[in-house]
Amino acid sequence: MMDFWIILTAILVASACSILGCFLILRRMALVGDAISHAVLPGIAIAFLMSGTRDSMWMLLGATAFGLLTVFLIQTLQTSGLQSDASIGIVFTALFAVGVLIISLNAQHIDLDLDCVLFGEIAYVPWDTWTLGGNNMGPRAVWMLGITLAVILLLFGLFYKQFKICAFDPAMAVACGIPVLLFHYLLMGMVSMTAVSSFESVGAILVVGMLIIPAATAYLLTHRLGIMIGLSVAVGIVSAVVGYLISYALDASIAGCIVSVAGILFIFALVLAPKNGLIARLARRRSAAQVV
């Protein structure tokens, strides 16, 4: 049963991250995902201090608010003339530092381990259960991730065309009357929700890997957005399951193994991709050379 909950958690993290990751990399916002995943920390800490519990709803709200604040601050710095990479670097490290400060100042009151914040500890997930009216409802993380994934599936199910055109041609989207800013903040809100519900299992650093690596792998393999999203989720889930089995065999960090497997799958795609892979390119060069 332990294994079941851990693998289910990993699969939920992978699915949520892989879908959002596709839109992040297509909008060239991979680093914004990175920034959000760190900057939600003060939101988590403040929500924890204010509510005094690890009640999931408070954490989700607090962290999502900070995620959106991050995006807003980055944009404000950019429009005031700073380069975008510098803006991202300033905002998320500063907010992350505030989070670290709040946690370390209130170490007695906050049951949050900084190591756990950074690297996650998915192995503890099954013990942290949610009790409703005296009934054990299963691990809290699974509920949070399940709700997050449901929100993602619902919003993308309803507004797929809007998210797509906003990613491809935002100017055209504006001209069509699509509220581009609303969909931008919806996407960022979902990234924030995902970051906060995943951070206990894979941590603030590795969640970025789950956001970007499966999506980047899928990007190399297909020319269709729909297929890219499907492949991305597949890569995420395979990484989660295989990563867990490897960590079991090696007795190593689960999250570390999951992201490493994703990295290996990415390298496979990089070498073997049918059109732009290294092998395909070499073969083309060789056949071109033979013609000459």
Partner 1 sequence: MNQTSTKNAPLTVNGMTIAYQRKAVVEDVSFTLPEGKLIALIGPNGAGKSTLLKAILGLVPSISGEVSIYGDTYKKMRSRVGYVPQRESVDWDFPTDALDVVMMGRYGHLGWIKRPGRKEKELAMNTLDKVGMADFARRQISQLSGGQQQRVFLARALVQEADLYVMDEPFAGVDAATEKAIIALLSELKQAGKTVLVVHHDLSTVDEYFDHVLLLNKKLIAAGPVNTTFTPELLHETYGGKLAIVSSDGKKALVGE
Within 17-46, which residues bind partner 1 (CB under 8 A)?
A: 26, 28
Round to whole Å and give the CA distance between 218 and 61: 31
- Closer CB to partner 1, 107 or 153, in the complex: 153
Rounded least distance, CB 109 to partner 1, Å: 45
41 φ/ψ sector (left φ>0, alpha ψ -120 to 50, else beta): alpha
The footprint of partner 1 on this chain (CB under 8 A) covers a number of residues equal to 27
- Closer CB to partner 1, 45 or 187, in the complex: 187
Rounded least distance, CB 226 to partner 1, Å: 9
Query: Is 284 an interacting residue with respect to partner 1 (CB under 8 A)?
Result: no
Rounded least distance, CB 240 to partner 1, Å: 24
Within 228-257, which residues bind partner 1 (CB under 8 A)?
A: 228
- Counts for the chain of helices (H) and strands (E), in that order: 11, 2
Lookup result for tokens 């399940």: 146
Residues 243 and 254 sit within 8 Å (Cβ to Cβ): yes
- Closer CB to partner 1, 137 or 227, in the complex: 227
x/- mask, partner 1, residues 211-230, rule CB under 8 A, reads --------x--xxxx-xx--
Rounded least distance, CB 177 to partner 1, Å: 5
- Closer CB to partner 1, 27 or 54, in the complex: 27
Query: DSSP character for 16?
Result: H
- Closer CB to partner 1, 74 or 220, in the complex: 220
Alpha helices (H) along 29-169: 30-51, 56-79, 84-105, 114-119, 140-168
Report helix angle 84-105 to 56-79, nearest 10: 150
Query: DSSP character for 109?
Result: T
Residue 51 CA neighbour count, 13 Å, CB half: 17
Rounded least distance, CB 260 to partner 1, Å: 26
Rounded least distance, CB 137 to partner 1, Å: 33
Rounded least distance, CB 26 to partner 1, Å: 6
Round to whole Å and give the CA distance between 17 and 61: 19
- Closer CB to partner 1, 153 or 176, in the complex: 176
Residue 70: name the closest of 88, 97, 57 by CA: 88
- Closer CB to partner 1, 132 or 175, in the complex: 175
Rounded least distance, CB 180 to partner 1, Å: 10
x/- mask, partner 1, residues 139-178, rule CB under 8 A, reads -------------------xxxxx-xx-xxx-xxxxxxxx
Residues near 292 by beta carbon (within 8 Å), at least 6 away in sequence: none
In 3-state terms, what secondary structure has residue 179? coil
In 3-state terms, what secondary structure has residue 139? strand
- Closer CB to partner 1, 223 or 251, in the complex: 223
Residue 31 CA neighbour count, 13 Å, CB half: 12
Residues that bind partner 1 (CB under 8 A): 26, 28, 158-162, 164-165, 167-169, 171-178, 219, 222-225, 227-228
